């Protein structure tokens, strides 16, 4: 592992020199790629240098302990420093192991967020709208850009389904574990007896697929154009701007009517379709690997109930890691960091265990 870390540090130093050279800075495309490589190594190198520094300090503290002789005050001071350094060193070394795990090629990608109302009637559609807003707030906190691509609203403030694009730094790596069934427990506004109802929505987080990632042949597409419509079926416009794409080999159907332009609707539909087709292909590969290994780490299966939001108790529980917080009001305002960080750590630990067993 040390040889690998030395090589990474050497590569990082070479990239550091490169990004300040006039030749690289004059070519924006090459400069952007070099900067991306540099950033991807930076966290590992910083941690590795911390480990080397701590080891040097630890060696110095042990020498001080040996030289202290009968000086109890100096011995106590040296021992305290040794204990603190060993504790911190263990943590940093664990962090470094996580950073050296094989990266998911999708981690750096933007995502397409899909939210659909499930069981629970109007209450499910209202919660779907609130969850969309929750992710918009979270994206804002992260400094990401979120664009609503298409929504099918209900006319009562809820939505049947919504598609959004989230762009930014390492979006998929943080959002990937949000896929699944989100359950809400609360008293609906229309409930006069004060009974708690349980409703559910599904969330899917799909890494955006570029054309180079997924090649969709035009002959495999059926394209239908129709007039956009709103709640209740009233006409939104009288031109055939809405688009429905059907991918014949997979049966995936994507409809888009958010834009007044047929071309823009088709472009948006194609982005979602590519992500959908890529997800299906990756799921096939994942299932094949899982059946061979008899184990599966972080399936992201959307049929899995992952989280419950209980409004009466101001409680949110993530069932995968058994984590509960009594700050539902803050979570609905986008304060998802604690859950997301805990989930990333949990699945990294599971992956590290799997890698250790395989090794």
With cut-offs at 50, 70 and 90, classify the pLDDT of residue 287: low
- How far is CA 6 from its chain centroid? 30
With cut-offs at 50, 70 and 90, classify the pLDDT of residue 107: confident
Which strands form 145-153's sheet, in the order they lie side by side?
145-153, 159-167, 111-117, 197-207, 180-186, 305-310, 315-318, 323-325
pLDDT value, residue 214: 76
Work out the average pLDDT over 184-196.
79
Work out the average pLDDT over 100-110.
81
pLDDT for 174 beyond 90: yes
* Whole-number Å distance between alpha carbons of 235 and 229: 5
Quote the DSSP letter at residue 235.
Answer: B
pLDDT for 296 beyond 50: no
pTM for this structure?
Answer: 0.69
* Whole-number Å distance between alpha carbons of 239 and 263: 13
Helix %, strand %, coil % of the chain (to 5):
50, 20, 30
| DSSP code string of 71-88 | -HHHHHHHHHHHHHHHHH
Q: Which of 20-34, 52-66, 121-135 has the lowest mean pLDDT?
A: 20-34
Nearest CA among 168, 163, 121 for reference residue 144: 168
Work out the average pLDDT over 211-223.
81
Q: The dihedral of CA 115, 119, 124, 125: what is its sign?
A: positive
111-294+303-358: same fold as 2-99? no
Q: Cβ(316)–Cβ(184) under 8 Å?
A: no
The H helix count followed by the E strand count for the chain is 9, 11
State the average pLDDT for the chain.
85
pLDDT value, residue 356: 65
Which two tokens mark 199? 């409703």
Q: Cβ(37)–Cβ(15) under 8 Å?
A: yes
Q: pLDDT over 70 for what percent of the chain?
A: 88
- How far is CA 41 from its chain centroid? 20
pLDDT value, residue 14: 92
Task: For 235-259, write each residue's pLDDT tens digit.
Answer: 455 567 889 999 998 888 998 887 7
Beta strand spans in 47-169 (E)? 111-117, 145-153, 159-167
pLDDT for 295 beyond 80: no
pLDDT for 300 beyond 60: no
With cut-offs at 50, 70 and 90, classify the pLDDT of residue 69: confident
Task: For 135-160, write each residue's pLDDT tens digit.
Answer: 999 999 999 999 998 888 887 889 99
The helix (H) or strand (E) run that includes residue 91 is helix 72-99
For the domain spanning 111-294+303-358, the CATH number is 3.30.70.1660
CATH top-level class of 2-99: mainly alpha
pLDDT for 74 beyond 70: yes
The residue extents of the domains of the chain are 2-99, 111-294+303-358
pLDDT value, residue 298: 38
pLDDT value, residue 292: 38
Dihedral angle, C-alpha 34, 39, 44, 46, nearest 10 °: 110
Q: Which residues of 3-31 are buried (b: 16+ CB within 10 A; e: fewer)?
A: eebeebbeebeebeebeeeeebeeeeeeb
């Amino acid at each position: 592992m040390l040889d690998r870390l030395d090589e990474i540090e050497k590569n990082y130093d070479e990239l550091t020199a490169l990004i300040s050279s006039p030749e690289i800075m004059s070519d924006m495309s090459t400069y952007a790629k070099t900067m991306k490589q540099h950033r991807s190594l930076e966290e590992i190198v910083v941690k590795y240098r911390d480990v080397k520094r701590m080891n040097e300090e630890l060696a110095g503290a042990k020498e001080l302990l040996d030289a202290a002789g009968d000086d109890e005050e100096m011995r106590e001071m040296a021992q305290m420093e040794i204990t603190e350094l060993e504790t911190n060193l263990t943590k940093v070394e664990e962090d470094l192991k996580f950073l050296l795990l094989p990266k998911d090629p999708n981690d750096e990608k933007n995502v397409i967020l899909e939210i659909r109302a499930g069981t629970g009637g109007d209450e499910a559609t209202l919660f779907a709208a609130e969850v969309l807003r929750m992710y918009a707030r979270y994206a804002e906190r992260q400094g990401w850009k979120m664009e609503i691509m298409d929504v099918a609203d209900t006319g009562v403030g809820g939505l049947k389904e919504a598609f959004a694009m989230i762009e930014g730094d390492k979006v998929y790596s943080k959002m990937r574990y949000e896929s699944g069934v989100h359950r809400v427990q609360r008293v609906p506004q229309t409930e006069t007896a004060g009974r708690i109802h349980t409703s559910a929505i599904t969330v899917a987080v799909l890494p955006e697929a570029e054309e180079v990632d997924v090649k969709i042949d035009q002959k495999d597409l059926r394209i239908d154009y129709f007039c956009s419509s709103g709640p209740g079926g009233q006409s939104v416009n009288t031109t055939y701007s809405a688009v429905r794409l059907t991918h014949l080999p997979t049966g995936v159907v994507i409809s888009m009517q958010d834009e007044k332009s047929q071309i823009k609707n088709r472009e948006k539909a194609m982005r979602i379709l590519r992500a959908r087709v890529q997800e299906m292909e990756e799921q096939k590969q994942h299932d094949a690997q899982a059946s061979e290994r008899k184990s599966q780490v972080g399936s992201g299966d959307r049929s899995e109930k992952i989280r419950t939001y209980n409004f009466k108790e101001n409680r949110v529980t993530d069932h995968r890691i058994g984590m509960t917080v009594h700050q539902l009001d803050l979570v609905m305002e986008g304060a998802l960091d604690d859950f997301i960080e805990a989930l990333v750590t949990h699945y990294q630990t599971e992956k590290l265990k799997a890698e250790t067993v395989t090794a």
